[in-house]
């Protein structure tokens, strides 16, 4: 049985979330990015979640917004990043629970899909698929170290494969620099 609860983040959690991010990623870069996200149009508090165990923040996930450009123009879609679990609490299912809870929030918000860059092994097991199979590509070159199919999507019930506005190039919001 899991001994953690998942709920939306609150301002009082922000310092503890920073500690989890720094411990999981090894430096301040992602935590600084999360601070910028919270000040930007892409922030979605309802899908910015924490896992709490013994009263402490032990994990964090964000689904925010990004832009897809198709022949029909631009529209906002959803992007999952970052995901982090305290190193001493990893490999117990907290990361998977955070992803599933954030996807449920995105579904409730009526978004058609959630994209991310990450391990196809980890996210494939959670139901993500290679984005290019659905006509969704990054508008930037993927880094050399990224595995093939690192660019992935999770299709939600609001996704309509016939909707051409959902096929195109994803661009990262300027908040990512
Ligand atoms: C990725 C991360 C969030 C997973 O959290 P978690 O709570 O350990 O995840 P779960 O317990 O749900 O799943 C663990 C499983 O995923 C696997 N896994 C974890 N990270 C992985 C990765 N980068 N690539 C492939 N598999 C991975 C583990 O091997 C484990 O499987 P196993 O126990 O069968 O070997 C956590 O390892 C983390 O914070 N890492 C550092 C930050 C990071 O890289 N975030 C993702 C990119 S934004």
Q: How far is CA 80 from CA 12, 41, 117, in A?
A: 22, 15, 8
**Cβ of 172 less than 6 Å from ligand 1:** no
Query: Distance between CA atoms of 169 and 157, rounded to whole angstroms?
Result: 21
Residue pLDDT, tens place only, 81-90:
999 999 999 9
Q: How many angstroms separate the alpha carbon of residue 121 from the centre of ligand 1? A: 10
Q: Which residue's CA is the closest to the ligand 1 atom numbered 16?
A: 122
Is the peptide bond prior to 82 cis by the omega test (within 30 degrees of 0)? yes
* Phi, psi dihedral angles at 80 (to 5 degrees): -100, 115
Question: Is 138 strand, coil or helix?
Answer: strand
Residue pLDDT, tens place only, 25-60:
999 999 999 999 999 999 999 999 999 999 999 999
Q: How many angstroms separate the alpha carbon of residue 15 from the centre of ligand 1? A: 23
Q: Where are the domains of the chain?
A: 5-176
Q: Which two tokens stand for residue 80?
A: 């999952």
Q: How many angstroms separate the alpha carbon of residue 95 from the centre of ligand 1? A: 7
**Cβ of 53 less than 6 Å from ligand 1:** no
Query: Distance between CA atoms of 45 and 36, rounded to whole angstroms?
Result: 13
Cβ pair 13, 5 in contact under 8 A: no
Kindly report which listed range (39-43, 44-48, 70-74, 139-143) carries the lowest average pLDDT score. 139-143
User: Does CATH place domain 5-176 in 3.30.565.10?
Assistant: no
Q: What is the pTM of this model?
A: 0.95
């Amino acid at each position: 049985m899991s001994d953690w609860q998942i709920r939306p983040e609150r301002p009082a959690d922000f310092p503890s979330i920073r500690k989890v991010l720094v411990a999981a990623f090894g430096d301040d870069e992602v935590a600084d990015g999360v601070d910028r996200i919270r000040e930007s149009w892409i922030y979605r508090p309802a899908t910015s979640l924490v896992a709490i165990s013994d009263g402490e923040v032990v994990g964090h996930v964000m689904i925010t917004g990004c832009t897809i450009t198709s022949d029909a123009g631009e529209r906002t879609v959803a992007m999952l990043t970052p995901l982090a679990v305290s190193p001493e609490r990893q490999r117990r299912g907290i990361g998977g629970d955070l992803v599933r809870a954030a996807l449920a929030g995105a579904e409730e918000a009526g978004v058609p899909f959630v994209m991310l860059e990450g391990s196809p092994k980890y996210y494939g097991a959670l139901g993500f698929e290679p984005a290019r199979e659905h006509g969704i590509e990054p508008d930037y070159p993927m880094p050399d170290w990224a595995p093939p199919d690192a660019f992935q999507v999770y299709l939600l019930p609001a996704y309509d494969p016939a909707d051409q506005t959902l096929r195109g190039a994803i661009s990262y919001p300027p908040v990512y620099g």
